[in-house]
Structure 1
Amino acid sequence: MEDIKPIADREGHVGGIESMMVDGRRWFFGFDYSMDTAVSPLIDDPARMAEFASKHMLQTDGVHDVAYWRDLVDSSVETSGIVGEDAARTYDSETVAAELPSTRLIYLMGAATAWDESFFEHEAVQAALATMGVRERDREDWDCLDQCIAARRSDSAEVSRAGADFMTLYQRFIFDNLPANWPEVFAALRPS
């Protein structure tokens, strides 16, 4: 069986194990809570996830064996350090493709890309942020994301359109930058 490689530049992060359901299939991944960053490919086998974590991840007290990580993998099915109940971590491609992605999924995709701020260098992104009324000093980092998500529901057609444009640009950027097998697992989110 081929060894699962870590995401480039994310080897040796201190973190835990998260899981989610996508189209009825449970996926596990490493997550660095201090950096709000996913640190592994999506792995659908608990034993392989534990093995990956023992080789490529740390806890605050250092390295741990496969058995230690397997306990964390198993507990990730019931609990999450990111989202509460399992229903909030369950995604169906058909529903996701037909609707705007949930705030939790939008957050998770940003975490998978390690919050690459080069997104804010695009003129169209800056124009949408200005139309939505995002303060100039907040137009260069991800702290404005909640305001942009909310803008899609604005009573102002112009602001609502800017929010929708921003989210389309965000989804395209995300898919151009998702690591490892993340784009394949979430292919339904790819904007047309």
Structure 2
Amino acid sequence: MNTESASRYEPLPGRVGHVAAIESLTLDGRRHFFGFDHRNDLVVSPLIDDPDAMAAFAAAHLRQSDGPHDPAYWATLVAEAAEGSGLVEDDAERTFTTDGLRTELPEPGGHLLYLLDAVTELDEEAGLPADIEQACERLGYPGPDDDDFADTVDDCLETVITHGPLHHPDEWTVVRGCLAAAIDTVPDNWGLLFGPLAEGLARTH
């Protein structure tokens, strides 16, 4: 095992010791692994593109329901994560390109938005900008403090994709503002995946 590569990844703050599985995604043809706590829908590691490093990271910072395991045990789970996923059925759903992230809006309710929710930690008390709340009010949607607000974002995203942001500026305000706020909190190197999406949102579609 490459000790140098295995030691270059630090755990995400507050996400050590979780009972977790290994998941993966492909970005620009390169597979990245990460720890995932299925019971809490929570990403619990950086993106790690070295299988040995992922196994070593998991041995040091994650566990299974029966306790910690050595890197050899985790290496088997890493290999399985390259072949299949506990989150999606089709490998295409976890395959992304930088250009696609910059130029295409994410699918409402899709895997990309699920990962964004699982990796970010928005400060609920801080709330979202006033223009988002005002747009929701004009549209008759629940505001950011409502439990069903994720459905509001999905509905607005569906409208923007179907009709374009210029024809639905309030929906676009909700989509762009909420996703940008979430991406601002992405930890560690998850910006590899969500940085290009943020760049695309900053442009006029």
TM-score normalised by L of structure 1: 0.87
Select the residue among 24, 27, 30 that pairs with 1:25. 30
Work out the CA distance in 2 between the residues paired with 1:174 and 1:45: 27
TM-score normalised by L of structure 2: 0.82
Alignment of 1:1-192 (within 5 A): 1=4, 2-102=7-107, 103-114=110-121, 116-118=123-125, 120-135=127-142, 139-140=144-145, 143-154=148-159, 160-190=168-198, 191-192=201-202
Offset of 1:158 from its aligned partner?
A: 9.7
**Letter paired with 1:127:** Q
Change in CA separation of 1:158 and 1:140 when aligned onto 2, cut-off 3 Å: farther
User: Is the contact made by 1:6 and 1:41 (CA closer than 8 Å) also made in structure 2?
Assistant: yes
Please state whether the residue corresponding to 1:177 is helix, strand or coil.
coil
1:41-90 deviation line (CA, Å, top 9, x unaligned): 00001111011001000111111111111111111112212211111100
User: Is the contact made by 1:38 and 1:114 (CA closer than 8 Å) also made in structure 2?
Assistant: no
User: Is the contact made by 2:48 and 2:54 (CA closer than 8 Å) also made in structure 1?
Assistant: yes
Offset of 1:12 from its aligned partner?
A: 0.7
How many equivalent residue pairs?
190
User: Is the contact made by 1:112 and 1:179 (CA closer than 8 Å) also made in structure 2?
Assistant: yes
Please state whether the residue corresponding to 2:9 is helix, strand or coil.
coil
User: Is the contact made by 1:17 and 1:31 (CA closer than 8 Å) also made in structure 2?
Assistant: yes
Work out the CA distance in 1 between the residues paired with 2:18 and 2:35: 9
User: Is the contact made by 1:93 and 1:186 (CA closer than 8 Å) also made in structure 2?
Assistant: no
- Aligned Cα RMSD in Å? 2.4
**Runs of at least 5 residues in structure 1 that lack an aligned partner in the other structure:** none
**Runs of at least 5 residues in structure 2 that lack an aligned partner in the other structure:** none
